[in-house]
A and B are shown apart, each in its own frame.
Chain A
Amino acid sequence: MSGLGSTVTTAPPVTPRMTAPVARLQDVSLSYGKTLALDELSLDVPAGCMVGLIGPDGVGKSSLMALVSGARAVQSGQVEVLGGDMGNKRHRNEVGPHIAYMPQGLGKNLYPTLSIEENLQFFGRLFGHSAAERRQRIDELTTATGLDSFLERPAGKLSGGMKQKLGLCCALIHDPDLLILDEPTTGVDPLARSQFWDLIAHIRSERNGMSVIVATAYMDEAERFDWLVAMDAGRILATGTPHELRERTNTTALEAAFIALLPEEKKREHQTVVVPPLADDENGEIAIEAQDLTKRFGIFTAVDHVSFRIRRGEIFGFLGSNGCGKSTTMKMLTGLLPASEGRAWLFGREVNPHDMDTRRRVGYMSQAFSLYTELSVQQNLVLHARLFSVAEKDIPARVAAMVSRFGLGNVLDALPSNLPLGIRQRLSLAVAMVHKPELLILDEPTSGVDPIARDNFWQMMIDLARKDRVTIFISTHFMNEAERCDRISLMHAGKVLVSDVPAELVKKRGAATLEEAFIGYLMDADGQVITPVDAPVLQTAVAPETPSSAPRRQRFSVSRAFSYTLRETLELQRDPVRGTLALLGSIMLMLIMGYGISLDVEDLRFAVLDQDQTTLSQNYVLNLAGSRYFIERAPLNSYAELDRRMRSGELSLAIEIPSGFARDVKRGTPVQIGAWIDGAMPSRAENIKGYVQGMHQGWLIDVARHQLGQDISAAATIETRFRYNPDVKSLPAMVPAVIPILLLMIPAMLTALSVVREKELGSIINLYVTPVTRSEFLLGKQLPYVILAMVNFLLMTLLAITLFGVPVKGSFATLSLAAFIFVLFSTGFGLFASTFTRSQIAAMFVAMIGTLIPAIQFAGLLNPVSSLEGVGRLIGQIYPATYFLTISRGVFGKALTLSDLHASFGPMLLSVPVIIVVSIILLKKQEA
């Protein structure tokens, strides 16, 4: 294999036959809120061939694919796929296993913390394959894609190309008839890209009749496809073979053909980019110089001894795939990242993160759009000008200049998030230019921008470089952009392979295009070329009677649910923060609450203003000071002191004994002792009041008997028996109550997060497009959290017995059974909270508010439900926490068993199916 060009096994050219189309769309419209993504679109997608959807970002390609795959619900119009209506749930369930969908975004449907093997196993299980079958398929697919030697590597740590290969393997694991790939090669290096297409071609050649629909932003890729659909603004511009499209528009390249197909008013803005040559002065000033720049993250070397020199006014390009080290190099130059090794200079001064002067000479535009979306266009410009210390009087003029130069006049007050991508990109450039920098560092500034906007953007940069002599250091993965640079460096795996003028590189390599030259360099660098396809792929796939195509639909598949359980468990193990919270969170909170919600009022500080100073008055004080509730402080001397010391919070109680106290008592003259209580904390004050009154009464009887020799026995007495907790201590009362609260809040929060995470990260798509049902998905995800919560229950019980010294007096089995039922409810509540929340933060809030408030306020933690009124009482009566609280207190404190507590089990048992069924009903199987 000398060059890859010769190994390309293009599938036999298929002329779209007029057999039944694989997908047929009629008058399909789709909108997200106010944005119209698809506009009354009608299209027949021919079967058995490779169909390409071309067009820039945001024209509706992804929406169309999501509709065809069944991931998104049809809003209006008719979508027929594989001979049936996708609006029909039964048909969707039937054809689901025959469609494979790989969403946009590198590894979007993969689980980053899971290894390649684990990801593939998960998908295999979802489609109900046996262990042996899974092994065979995984081995075949990974051998064919060259992933077999990395099976243990987590998906998140793969390069872009490898992620896409893994995504493809996951999509192909069940032999689909229709393969839908949404921009599978965006951000992937050219070698990996070409290998990817070879793989697809090979699979198609072996599996005749498989239809493939691909979306792409790379026009050069689209040349290979059998049939193309050019799209713009939710409509179809044209369809036909690549050859037909070029012929129709009288152009030689597809990109030009696409531009020619655009409506007039869009074309008008377009002008062909011409790059005037760089005035060549070899001795010119050097703007950037890097020597052996290296960056390591742990053992991973992101940038490996990179050296280059960029002259002033030059447009210098970095070409390479995602993750090859382009961005890291740029960040080191800006001082964002310290270099592990090597040095770099900007304008002859060594890069130093504390050098504010150099920063003022540099403009930087990072990969993603990163302006303040909450500030208007004008505010963004002004803020940046100020932060770059442009003199206040110059700011209006400078901002005006940027506005006119970059054509932002009519969007001044708009918020950036409401602007189209092309304009946002211009705004980013304007912001980077507002302080007149001499050097611009631009990290993939044009990704996702349509060809016309891209060309306009380039025109502006060329003007800056040539007219204003601004040095431009730009990174890109578009070949045609790289061709416009004065010089480029090809980067791969942290290394610069070669740097030169683009035309020179092509010539040196003897290649036809820059892409071919790049692929050549990549193959030299890699040494070992991953032989893409030697072994036949998918032997099982060829056999038509594969088990997976047999009707396997059943109402509830334990194995599919279990595959989610297994996956969830693995993910939880690998997420340190969630894992810690799950295991240690409740222990930590139990300690805090056990000590924090202590209602024991002891060791209260008091002082006495004793104006009598007799044995009797001292006896009164001793009576107080001797109890465990009070601690005596230095005596008071005046009312002013009493006031001051009470205000500072030092004293919770002040006692005043009047002069002549002992004398009056002896005489039987009525006398009054004054007691002031700090009422700042009413609950504490109530307790103090009780203590003081009790002790006063006791003292009176005592004095009467012993000192005065009187018998003033009461008419009757009351004997109080504090049951279950004879010392009336907080811990035995609170600990059994804290367990239900923690078993409610944390499991609910974790379960809610686990579902909403999938929504936020995008892997929820696997629920939409695989045969897994809603109940399998939810119950499968619930199970690990139920187990975890039970482990927590055991830990907390252990803690209660050992550390807090609160024994389980009653039946532990009863308590465990109740805990199990309760945990089913609390995790079910988490599922419920996840069905209507979209972000993890919202899910956390809902889970917390929905559990904590009713549990603390209404379930009888502090005040028994019988003491509540109105809505609070109603909530308390239906909320299962109330009943578990009764059971927990009953078993812990009252030595009760199942026979005493069975009445409390009923409501809890009822709540579990209710909350779970409601969650299943509310969860959507398609994106709305």
Chain B
Amino acid sequence: MSHVSMSHISNIYRLGVKELWSLIRDPTMLILIIYSFTAAIYIAATAMPDSLHKAAIAIVDEDQSPLSQRIVSAFYPPHFNTPSMISLAEVDPGMDAGRFTFALDIPPNFQRDVLAGRSPSIQLNVDATRMTQAFTGNGYIQQIALDEVNTFVLRYRNTAPPPIDLALRARFNPALTPAWFGSLMEIINQVTMLSIILAGAALIREREHGTIEHLLVMPVTPGEIMLSKVWSMGLVVLLATAISLAVIVQGALRVPIEGSVMLFLFCAALHLFATTSIGIFLATLARSMPQFGLLMVLTLIPLQMLSGGTTPRESMPVFVQTVMLAAPTTHFVASAQAILYRGAGLEVVWPRFLALIAIGSVFFIVALARFRKTIGTMA
């Protein structure tokens, strides 16, 4: 390796500027970037409904008492659909066909037994194949139904409230608004996806147009070519991220950001170093744009789904958790969550940053080696 001199730096700079020009004159890519950082984020943030939204519930009222009527009328939108009143025989077919997720069965003589202190029980059937609603819904229904029973009972006898209270507070997102989470995680996904696409496509475009050949006969080294693509495409994504964060997330979606945006962008830059290298690596494996697209599908989905940005890392098998420590997205998601939601500073996230630098360097070196090796067959 030759030492870094002025001409290296100026070549890297010039070639990078050239990439930016190419991008400006490529309307498809521009539209893709703009869409990914505006509409896609807005949609992802707002499309995510609250965890219990219009849940389908059916009630079998075998009691037909004032108390059972009270319970029925306690379920209403937006958390629940207006309950459909069914007979006991309709419970199984309805649940089988997936017409409702919850079926509440109020037994005969329920009110009488309650007042007699016999503590009767209501049966709640939950379609547990609908994971997202099953668990939370169960909690809500229990609480709603029992509240009704208790208020009803209070009119007739006086019992002491439980002496120990639990004060539950959610930190960092007090109302647990899904948009706060959805919008920022979507930005993170877009950063990963676009940087891989842009860097990889920049190389494949050069090959398809035959310009890579041209570059390689000039006094320019493969390392310079690669670095120029890393910095230029990384910069584009970083700028788009910053703008989207300010305009879409903080502006249109009104999501408060607790931590330092600058620290987050620094973290994104480290992440981009790794992902642009991955993009270039994939581009050296693929022989054409379509092949690159297929490879990307296979790479991007695990990078995004197993990073901890979609579902909590704790719930993945240990093996998956360990393997994913080698993926830059895992560390990016973790530090981004820490910085943006919890306002963590450098003193908290620095180990993640070190991991990102290490992973980025490894990917860069591997991609460069592979790039050097394949330029013969590319030209």
Query: How many angstroms between the C-alpha atoms of A350 and B254 in the bound complex?
Result: 65
Are B211 and A370 closer than 8 Å at their CB atoms?
A: yes
Query: How many angstroms between the C-alpha atoms of A715 and B293 in the bound complex?
Result: 61
Q: What string of 1s and 0s marks CB contacts (under 8 Å) between A359-372 and chain B?
A: 11010101111111
Once A689-B170, A717-B119 are accepted as A-B contacts, the answer to whether A592 and B302 lie under 8 Å apart by CB is yes
- Say which residue of A593, A675, A720 sits within 8 Å of B169 (CB atoms): A675
Residue of A nearest to B166 (CB): A696
Residue of A nearest to B291 (CB): A577
- Say which residue of B128, B290, B317 sits within 8 Å of A595 (CB atoms): B317
Residue of A nearest to B71 (CB): A716
- Say which residue of A364, A669, A672, A685 sits within 8 Å of B170 (CB atoms): A685
Asked if B4 is at the interface of the complex by the 8 Å CB criterion, the answer is no
Asked if B362 is at the interface of the complex by the 8 Å CB criterion, the answer is no
Asked if B129 is at the interface of the complex by the 8 Å CB criterion, the answer is yes
Are B128 and A682 closer than 8 Å at their CB atoms?
A: no
Are B159 and A722 closer than 8 Å at their CB atoms?
A: no
Asked if A679 is at the interface of the complex by the 8 Å CB criterion, the answer is yes
B96-104, B241-249, B272-280 - the one binding chain A: B96-104
Query: How many angstroms between the C-alpha atoms of A388 and B95 in the bound complex?
Result: 73
Asked if A686 is at the interface of the complex by the 8 Å CB criterion, the answer is yes
Q: What string of 1s and 0s marks CB contacts (under 8 Å) between A319-336 and chain B?
A: 000000000000100111
- Say which residue of B98, B114, B130, B163 sits within 8 Å of A668 (CB atoms): B163
Asked if B295 is at the interface of the complex by the 8 Å CB criterion, the answer is yes
Query: How many angstroms between the C-alpha atoms of A386 and B11 in the bound complex?
Result: 8
Asked if A262 is at the interface of the complex by the 8 Å CB criterion, the answer is no
Are B181 and A680 closer than 8 Å at their CB atoms?
A: yes
Are B217 and A359 closer than 8 Å at their CB atoms?
A: yes
Are B146 and A716 closer than 8 Å at their CB atoms?
A: yes
Query: How many angstroms between the C-alpha atoms of A354 and B223 in the bound complex?
Result: 12
Are A337 and B136 closer than 8 Å at their CB atoms?
A: no
Asked if B220 is at the interface of the complex by the 8 Å CB criterion, the answer is yes
Query: How many angstroms between the C-alpha atoms of A805 and B118 in the bound complex?
Result: 42
Asked if B315 is at the interface of the complex by the 8 Å CB criterion, the answer is yes
Are B290 and A581 closer than 8 Å at their CB atoms?
A: no
A214: chain B residues within 8 A (beta carbon): none
B52-60, B229-237, B260-268, B353-361 - the one binding chain A: B52-60
Are B131 and A599 closer than 8 Å at their CB atoms?
A: yes
Are B97 and A336 closer than 8 Å at their CB atoms?
A: no
- Nearest CB on A from B310, distance (A): 6
Query: How many angstroms between the C-alpha atoms of A724 and B379 in the bound complex?
Result: 58
Query: How many angstroms between the C-alpha atoms of A670 and B18 in the bound complex?
Result: 71
Asked if B25 is at the interface of the complex by the 8 Å CB criterion, the answer is yes
A714: chain B residues within 8 A (beta carbon): 119, 146
- Nearest CB on B from A739, distance (A): 13
Residue of A nearest to B344 (CB): A647
- Nearest CB on B from A431, distance (A): 8
Are A681 and B114 closer than 8 Å at their CB atoms?
A: no
Once A863-B49, A869-B54 are accepted as A-B contacts, the answer to whether A718 and B146 lie under 8 Å apart by CB is yes
Are B314 and A671 closer than 8 Å at their CB atoms?
A: no
Are A603 and B314 closer than 8 Å at their CB atoms?
A: yes
Q: What string of 1s and 0s marks CB contacts (under 8 Å) between B191-229 and chain A?
A: 000000000000000000111011111111100000000
Are B121 and A718 closer than 8 Å at their CB atoms?
A: yes
- Nearest CB on A from B227, distance (A): 14
A672: chain B residues within 8 A (beta carbon): 164-167
Are A373 and B317 closer than 8 Å at their CB atoms?
A: no
Q: What string of 1s and 0s marks CB contacts (under 8 Å) between A689-713 and chain B?
A: 1101110100010010000000011
Q: How many pairs, one residue from A and one from B, have CB atoms within 8 Å of each other in the complex?
A: 372
Query: How many angstroms between the C-alpha atoms of A844 and B197 in the bound complex?
Result: 13
Query: How many angstroms between the C-alpha atoms of A896 and B97 in the bound complex?
Result: 9
- Say which residue of A337, A592, A649, A692 sits within 8 Å of B166 (CB atoms): A692
Query: How many angstroms between the C-alpha atoms of A720 and B134 in the bound complex?
Result: 10
Asked if A674 is at the interface of the complex by the 8 Å CB criterion, the answer is yes
- The total of chain B residues at the interface (CB under 8 A) is 127
Asked if A753 is at the interface of the complex by the 8 Å CB criterion, the answer is yes
Query: How many angstroms between the C-alpha atoms of A386 and B152 in the bound complex?
Result: 85
Residue of A nearest to B156 (CB): A715
Asked if B42 is at the interface of the complex by the 8 Å CB criterion, the answer is no
A864: chain B residues within 8 A (beta carbon): 55-56, 98, 101, 130, 133
Counting contact residues on chain A (CB < 8 A from B), the size range is 35 or more
Are A599 and B121 closer than 8 Å at their CB atoms?
A: no
Query: How many angstroms between the C-alpha atoms of A575 and B10 in the bound complex?
Result: 41
Which residues of A in the span 234-283 have a Cβ within 8 Å of any Cβ on B? none
Asked if B311 is at the interface of the complex by the 8 Å CB criterion, the answer is yes
B87: chain A residues within 8 A (beta carbon): none
Asked if B257 is at the interface of the complex by the 8 Å CB criterion, the answer is no
Residue of A nearest to B173 (CB): A679
Query: How many angstroms between the C-alpha atoms of A357 and B113 in the bound complex?
Result: 98
Are B217 and A336 closer than 8 Å at their CB atoms?
A: yes
Which residues of B in the span 284-304 have a Cβ within 8 Å of any Cβ on A? 286-291, 293-295, 297-298, 301-302
- Say which residue of A652, A694, A734, A840 sits within 8 Å of B131 (CB atoms): A734
Once A592-B301, A592-B305, A893-B129 are accepted as A-B contacts, the answer to whether A682 and B219 lie under 8 Å apart by CB is no
Q: What string of 1s and 0s marks CB contacts (under 8 Å) between B332-344 and chain A?
A: 0010011001111
Asked if A130 is at the interface of the complex by the 8 Å CB criterion, the answer is no
Residue of A nearest to B24 (CB): A374
B160: chain A residues within 8 A (beta carbon): 712
A334, A694, A716, A844 pick with most chain B CB within 10 angstroms: A716
Residue of B nearest to A392 (CB): B10
Asked if A602 is at the interface of the complex by the 8 Å CB criterion, the answer is yes
Q: What string of 1s and 0s marks CB contacts (under 8 Å) between A582-599 and chain B?
A: 000100110011011111
Residue of A nearest to B145 (CB): A718
Are B220 and A671 closer than 8 Å at their CB atoms?
A: no
Once A596-B316, A894-B96 are accepted as A-B contacts, the answer to whether A719 and B162 lie under 8 Å apart by CB is no
Are B180 and A723 closer than 8 Å at their CB atoms?
A: no
Are A649 and B342 closer than 8 Å at their CB atoms?
A: yes
Query: How many angstroms between the C-alpha atoms of A356 and B11 in the bound complex?
Result: 13
A368, A644, A687, A867 pick with most chain B CB within 10 angstroms: A867
- Nearest CB on A from B232, distance (A): 13
Once A336-B217, A372-B18, A673-B164 are accepted as A-B contacts, the answer to whether A723 and B49 lie under 8 Å apart by CB is no
Which residues of B in the span 135-177 have a Cβ within 8 Å of any Cβ on A? 135-136, 138-139, 141-142, 145-146, 149-150, 152-153, 159-160, 162-174, 176-177
Are B217 and A597 closer than 8 Å at their CB atoms?
A: no
Asked if A352 is at the interface of the complex by the 8 Å CB criterion, the answer is no
Are A331 and B379 closer than 8 Å at their CB atoms?
A: yes
Are A889 and B129 closer than 8 Å at their CB atoms?
A: yes
- Nearest CB on B from A668, distance (A): 5
Q: What string of 1s and 0s marks CB contacts (under 8 Å) between A643-673 and chain B?
A: 0101111001000000000001100111111
Query: How many angstroms between the C-alpha atoms of A665 and B165 in the bound complex?
Result: 11
Query: How many angstroms between the C-alpha atoms of A841 and B290 in the bound complex?
Result: 6
Query: How many angstroms between the C-alpha atoms of A356 and B312 in the bound complex?
Result: 52
Asked if B85 is at the interface of the complex by the 8 Å CB criterion, the answer is no
Are B315 and A601 closer than 8 Å at their CB atoms?
A: yes
Are B213 and A679 closer than 8 Å at their CB atoms?
A: no
Asked if A463 is at the interface of the complex by the 8 Å CB criterion, the answer is no
Once A669-B163, A840-B293 are accepted as A-B contacts, the answer to whether A375 and B22 lie under 8 Å apart by CB is yes
B14: chain A residues within 8 A (beta carbon): 383, 386-387
Once A359-B217, A673-B167, A753-B290 are accepted as A-B contacts, the answer to whether A577 and B295 lie under 8 Å apart by CB is yes
5 contacts between A and B (CB under 8 A): A338-B376, A364-B214, A384-B218, A672-B166, A687-B136
Which 9 residue pairs of A and B lie closest in terms of their CB atoms, listed nearest first?
A370-B210, A679-B173, A679-B170, A596-B305, A725-B128, A840-B290, A680-B341, A356-B219, A374-B25
Q: Which residues in A have some Cβ–Cβ distance to B below 8 Å?
A: 331, 334-338, 354, 356-357, 359-360, 362, 364, 366-375, 379, 383-384, 386-389, 415, 577-578, 581, 585, 588-589, 592-593, 595-605, 644, 646-649, 652, 664-665, 668-687, 689-690, 692-694, 696, 700, 703, 712-726, 728, 730, 732-734, 736, 749, 753, 757, 839-841, 844, 848, 857, 860, 862-864, 866-869, 872, 886, 889-890, 893-894, 896, 900-901, 903-904
14 additional A-B pairs beyond A336-B217, A370-B214, beta carbons within 8 Å, are A362-B217, A372-B18, A379-B21, A384-B218, A599-B131, A647-B342, A675-B166, A687-B136, A715-B117, A733-B128, A841-B289, A864-B101, A867-B55, A890-B97
